[in-house]
Structure 1
Amino acid sequence: MLAQTYPDARCELDFDTPFELLVVTVLSAQTTDKRVNSVRPTLFAAYPDAPAMAGADRAELERIVGPLGFFRAKTESLLKLSQALVERHGGEVPPRLEDLVKLPGVGRKTANVVLGNAFGVPGITVDTHFGRLARRFGWTSETDPVKAEHAVGALFPKRDWTMLSHHLIWHGRRVCHARSPACGACPVARWCPSYGEGPTDATQAAALVRTEGRA
């Protein structure tokens, strides 16, 4: 049902290469995809690949990512990440989970975003939305992202993992909010064991529905 509701669900971070996706995913922490997308053209015009970014002028890189907040920490993360890619992988993004998670600032969530969307390798992206919905749907009670990833992964065919992630994240951003889920406007309400956590009145619920990104 979520697949029918969100037929265009996809990664809402813009990218052209695995390197770009890795970088914008790292930058997306504690900000919105929309803001990251707004600095992307300038960022990659200046630093199109890992070797270029590894040699970036710190002050200039800070200026570019400044609108995203935490710009000093994010600049440091990008410099370390790019340098590691150059030193360990010849400047290329490795297409394996075990290699990605060894890179500075890259955890399983970021690695699975890159694998699923840049390399076509199925992966489950457990962000705050995915974890919340998985618990509300009764798929798992785990709050630890890695444990939740494994628990949900056991319920679905591996080939579906990437799109499952997109569908839950889109639904979480638009309808199934953390504080006031729009239960009365939810396409899966009849099957949801958490129905009623938010307004069930259709009019009240409709007012809570958000349109974000490409939805």
Structure 2
Amino acid sequence: MPETKASERKKSRPPLLDLADLYPACFDWKKPQPLKIGLFDDLVEVGHDPQQVRHTLSVYCSRVRYLKSLRPDTPRVDLQGQPAGSVTAEASEHAKARLEKRWNPPAKTTAPVPELPIDAPLTEDNIVPGRLELTVKFSEIPKPMPVKSGMKIGIQTESALVVATLPPKAWKKLEKAKADWPQWVASLTGKLGTRVGADGPDVVVLENPAIQVFEKKTN
């Protein structure tokens, strides 16, 4: 007998993480507490598989007990169970709406498709965790400023000055490219860190930078 699409999707889902056992101060399936906004990133940063984290949090946060815990001004907790923000009135109302929809599902009708607004504000349900990264390309080796963690360099782009501290191995890649190739291009990628602007020139700090250097072929 052929498998249905639903059963195929169920098989493709990653196994749930035992978050209650790993982080008992944060996760409790029987008495859940509101979770810190951005907890997905925290779990990924400590080494958990992103797909498993996403699937587990989706299951955990869609349960009735968790939705009921989202009362206005209730503290949210981080992995160690420490306060990390609180539930807003908007988030609480959204949780109530999800509960009411679950208990009173709308009847199937052939009602006309409603006219959509030109724009609308996002709620927590419209937002998923992510990570903003920046890539900068340059073809000239900058004069570095030696610091404790490596070589601090700056790349002036058309919109902002990008500042990054390269580990010694990454800096050696640039030096080798300059010595071996007449022309080259470096691609510097990293997490978008602090940004300074408004009262002065725009400066973007690139955190945890990784670099790749390629020979530029000439015709």
Taking structure 1 as the reference length, the TM-score comes to: 0.29
More strand, by proportion: 2
Taking structure 2 as the reference length, the TM-score comes to: 0.28
More helix, by proportion: 1
